[in-house]
Amino acid sequence: MTEQGPDIVAEVSEKGGVGKTSVTSGLIAVAAELGLRVGGVDLDPRATLTDELGITDPELSVNDVYYVDPDKRPQDPAEIARKAFVRAGKHWPSNVFVLPSVRKFGNRETDQTTGMEFRLKRALWGLRDLVDVLFLDVPPRAGGKIVGSALIATKKVLIPATLAEDGYDGATEALTSIEHYTAPGGLNEDLVIAGIVRSIVPRESEIREIHRHWERRLLDRFGDMVLPTSITNYAVREVCRTGSMPITSAPGREAKLLVSSYTEVLHHTLPALKEKV
């Protein structure tokens, strides 16, 4: 954590199935392994990250942060967030926390409460003394209120992209949305794009020409914005997800390769971490 509060990184794409949650959980795992106090913020009503971090049936959730009872005086989202922010499950290190999600959080997309999109920023400010870095798992809803709130609250954006049409389109559309927030007079002019990370990449023996086609499209359009590190699709990732455990605790060569990739992405996204650990 700096004097300006914790680092905040949002994983964003406007297509589903491109690896946002897997990248988020991988970064949480390697950051925790470095000894940092890490928080995962699940903004997806499907609650996949919540489940992967070992939390079921949370007493409070991100829905409580956003929701305002129209018949009562609004509560401070910073105070709610501190109550909802809990340690991850038993398989995760004790320095990992989560602001969990629940299915009914999806109702907030149509919520007409004034200023709701700003409540997340205030909530994360309330966690500033509890963590060194926060990772936001953002749902793939173009122009949605939840996505907008994440782009207001975050300091950096990392864009996962598969070597497929959805990966390319998701990155393209996400960058278009981000421009509305970073343009002069936008709601987050200081927002930094950390880059595009190629995710769920087939093993070399499984790469086909169609994958190379979309990789060339990514590189041709986005150039140096595409990180040099890619994240290969190994089965051990799904094993960890199913078991609600961090990739850093998994045995074997493939797990070590993934840990190395996530660590490289982490240091590229947050280069100042090398000075903290």
Per-residue pLDDT tens over the stretch 135-172 = 999 999 877 999 999 999 999 999 999 999 999 999 99
pLDDT for residue 2 is more than 60 = no
Instruction: Provide φ and ψ at 229, rounded to 5°.
Output: -90, 135
Instruction: Supply the pTM of this predicted model.
Output: 0.96
Which of the four pLDDT bands, split at 50, 70 and 90, describes residue 273?
confident
* 212-248 pLDDT per residue, tens: 999 999 999 999 999 999 999 999 999 999 999 999 9
Q: According to the model, what pLDDT value does residue 214 have?
A: 98
Question: Is it the case that residue 72 has pLDDT exceeding 60?
Answer: yes
CA distance 1 to 273: 10
Please name which of 176, 191, 164, 140 lies closest in space to residue 13, comparing C-alpha atoms: 140
Average pLDDT over residues 53-59: 97
- Based on the number of CB atoms within 10 Å of its own CB, is 128 exposed (0-12), middle (13-18) or buried (19 or more)? middle
Return the pLDDT at 3.
54
**Where exactly are the structural domains of the chain?**
7-270
Bridge partner residues of 196 (DSSP): 159, 226
- Farthest CA pair distance, the chain: 60
Listed in sequence order, the residues at least 6 apart from 133 whose beta carbon sits closer than 8 Å to its beta carbon are: 1, 6, 7, 8, 9, 31, 36, 37, 38, 39, 270, 273
Of 3.40.50.2000, 3.30.70.1520, 3.40.50.300, 3.20.20.70, the CATH number of 7-270 is 3.40.50.300
Is residue 46 predicted with pLDDT exceeding 80? Answer: yes
- pLDDT for 142 equals 77
